[in-house]
Chains A and B, each alone.
Chain A
Amino acid sequence: MLSSLFALTLLSFPSHLDAPELQSIGVLAFGPEGVLFVADPKGAAVYALETADDGKSAGEGLFFAQIDQELAGQLGIQPSELVIHDLAVHPVSGAAYVSLSRGRGPDADPVLARVSEDGGVVLLDLTGMSSTHVALTNAPQDEPAARRNQRTLSITDMEFHEGTLYVAGLSNEEFASKLHSIPYPFTELGNGTSIEVYHGAHGAWETRSPVRTFATVEIEDTDHLLATYTCTPLVKIPIREVLSTTEAGAKVRGTTVAELGSGNTPLDMVVYRKDGHEYVLVANSHRGVMKISTEGIAAPEGITRQINGTAGLTYETIDELEEVVQLAPYDETRALALIRPKGSEEAHLETIELP
């Protein structure tokens, strides 16, 4: 009796539940039951880590002044040698997970830190953690004639939605725009499909474009990906279309719903509801934080006429959030922000009210 129970337990665990072997670290995204997805761009892989984080959030928000000083001090480096890549908030414990690199060289150590509500900052010991992982498709083939591999994939964003992990990647060589959809739990057999994403511009031109950051949003009862590209349009793509495109390399065309204009490199996006309306908060590298209304996003044709100035969905710039460099959802009414005043090496972490 006991032995068959034991056997059953063994069978239900996924295979290869090992400690993650990260070559690098990048974007983060939470999945079901406290699983944290961690991108390893250098290793061209994504890990799913069991955070084993059972605490329950007190709901009081998070604040840590000079977080870079704290992290650098613990790591034994100067704050200028610390690179913070991404933030993600544990949906139950409310702790902030921070991915960072110790150093700026190609062999910088990847580090995952946890900032808890009580102000504790811990550098997690990855050797003690359980994980599964998946290789991203389209890694270059091993070729006898080719030189040592120079190609890398920068993973710009990830999000988990209803059983699928979406991963956006950008190559340092070919101008491609891969969006991977990977079923989770990861299976041995399939590591998802990758599709080419295109966008239109005023209905006339169509080009590939790397997706920069994206979020899932429901438009008229249909799930969509709302994506910002590296060339400024904000685009909606029905998820159904992404998932039904099973041919590797097949293309999916997004509908442009807004053009964010010059000087904007979008960094992060948070979708939220306030006062009965839906908004998207986009943190940009140069222009602060934009609050975009999704009013009118359901219009199927998107932007087809040329419009001067910003086009499509209306937005406002939130002046008070000028120095936000990272943004992650925290709860229904708040986001977690990493704020770095211009020209300063100091950064602090705090929860902010969604505007």
Chain B
Amino acid sequence: MIERLFLLATLLLATACRAGAPAGDADSIELVLAGEPGSQRVEARGLPAVSEPADGWPALFRLSVASVERAGGPAVVGRYELREDVLVFEPRFALEPELEYSAVLRRALLPGATGGEPDLVESLIVPRSEPAVAAVVEAVYPTARPLPANVLKFYVHFSRPMARGFVYEHAHVLDGEGEVVRQPFLELEEELWNPAGTRLTLLVDPGRIKRGLLLHEQMGAVFEPFRSYTLLVEAGWPGADGAVLASDLRVEFTTGAPDVVQPDPAGWVLELPTASSREPLVLALDEALDHALLERMLRIVGPDGSALAGNVMIADGETQWSFVPARPWSGGEHQLLVDVDLEDLAGNSVGRLFEVHLGEPTPAPLAASVRVAFRPVP
């Protein structure tokens, strides 16, 4: 009796062992995501002794974007490494969060397989490491009012990086009746973003602004003088990490006459700081100027000729520029350097009008910068 039990036990054990031999047994192989967010890999664990098939590792084990896989598309590109019973796949680029991937192991290609085994398929989704935060529009420039009818640019500042490719679907101009103005902006494939993807430049179609161009004749100017308009930034604009702009933003403005006068530093009024203080140097400009260019085209140079470090602030509808130095002002002659490419809202720069009529005399070209000397008050 005991011998029979022993025999039975041995037989059972032997059978169990043979059944446990992983010839494609789904219970013993796992397809999993491993690694840190941003550097995830996919692993096929619990494999029997495998070697690379003639067609390469992807023939045995591959990862695809699930929707692309369903449409018959290719596998994700990456490197394979076999570490004992784990085949590791490292994609060349980080996997996208919240996107369904499909990992497939062809069990029919494993050693000991008969060829009829179904594929082992696992749906994998990388969780987002931080919840996506919806962007809001923080500011739109120019804030000057009214705007010249030939205003050339708007800058839209977002609180978070935005995705490219959606500008012209989500940025619109409405006229005084709420009707959409057709194609107000120059539609560029590249779109004009700052490196961080948080500031967008909208360029009003210069072809419609410029006099004498066919486009101007055919479509007319974008803005007529002495009218009301609304710049509409629409909700739903995708952010770079998935969350969309939550609500519409409307910026209303009225237009004045076209601006055909160049900005002139000679007309700026300087409010001088006191020497040995860190009071601001304040400039009252002769007209509203381009917000982005005001941030970098004015520099202060000290008596020793070196540029001063400090903080720039722009206020009053871009008609006031002030500078607070990092260190107290010394006495002595300082210089305000004005880059001649500094533009007003209609693209007229210190150096040149936006449009020059060739029939009229043109002023001599300026040097690269205009210097305004000043001394802090003793």
Q: Which residues of A contact B (CB under 8 A)?
A: 26, 41-42, 66, 69-70, 72-79, 81, 83, 85, 102-109, 121, 123, 140, 143-147, 149-152, 154, 156, 170, 172-176, 200-209, 230-233, 249, 259-263, 265, 267, 285-286, 306, 308, 310-311
Contact = CB atoms under 8 A, between A and B. Distances in A.
A204 B212 contact: yes
Given A76-B91, A146-B296, A70 B308 contact: no
B206 interface: yes
Contacts of A286: 187
B241 interface: yes
Interface stretch (B12-20, B115-123, B196-204, B244-252): B196-204
Interface of B: 63-65, 67-69, 71, 73-77, 91-93, 95-96, 99, 101, 152-153, 161-165, 183, 186-190, 192-199, 201, 203, 205-207, 210-215, 217-219, 238, 240-241, 290, 292-293, 295-296, 299-300, 307-312, 323, 326, 341, 343, 347, 349, 352, 354-359, 368
Contacts of A77: 65, 93, 96, 99
A337 to B, nearest CB: 16
Main secondary structure of the interface of B (DSSP, over half): loop
Contact of B65 (A76, A149, A233): A76
14 contacts: A69-B68, A104-B163, A144-B310, A145-B323, A151-B296, A172-B201, A173-B293, A204-B212, A206-B355, A230-B206, A233-B213, A261-B214, A263-B183, A310-B214
Contact of A311 (B76, B214, B290, B343): B214
A74 B76 contact: yes
Given A76-B91, A143-B307, A205 B211 contact: yes
B295 A147 contact: yes
Contacts of A105: 161-164, 197, 240-241
Counting chain B CB atoms within 10 Å of each CB, which of A85, A170, A205, A206 scores highest?
A: A205
A195 to B, nearest CB: 14
Contacts of A174: 290, 293, 341, 343, 349
Nearest to A23: B195
A123 B65 CA distance: 17
Nearest to B241: A105
Given A105-B197, A143-B296, A144-B309, A72 B212 contact: no
Given A150-B199, A205-B355, A205-B358, 6 more contacts: A76-B76, A106-B197, A149-B195, A172-B194, A173-B290, A207-B356
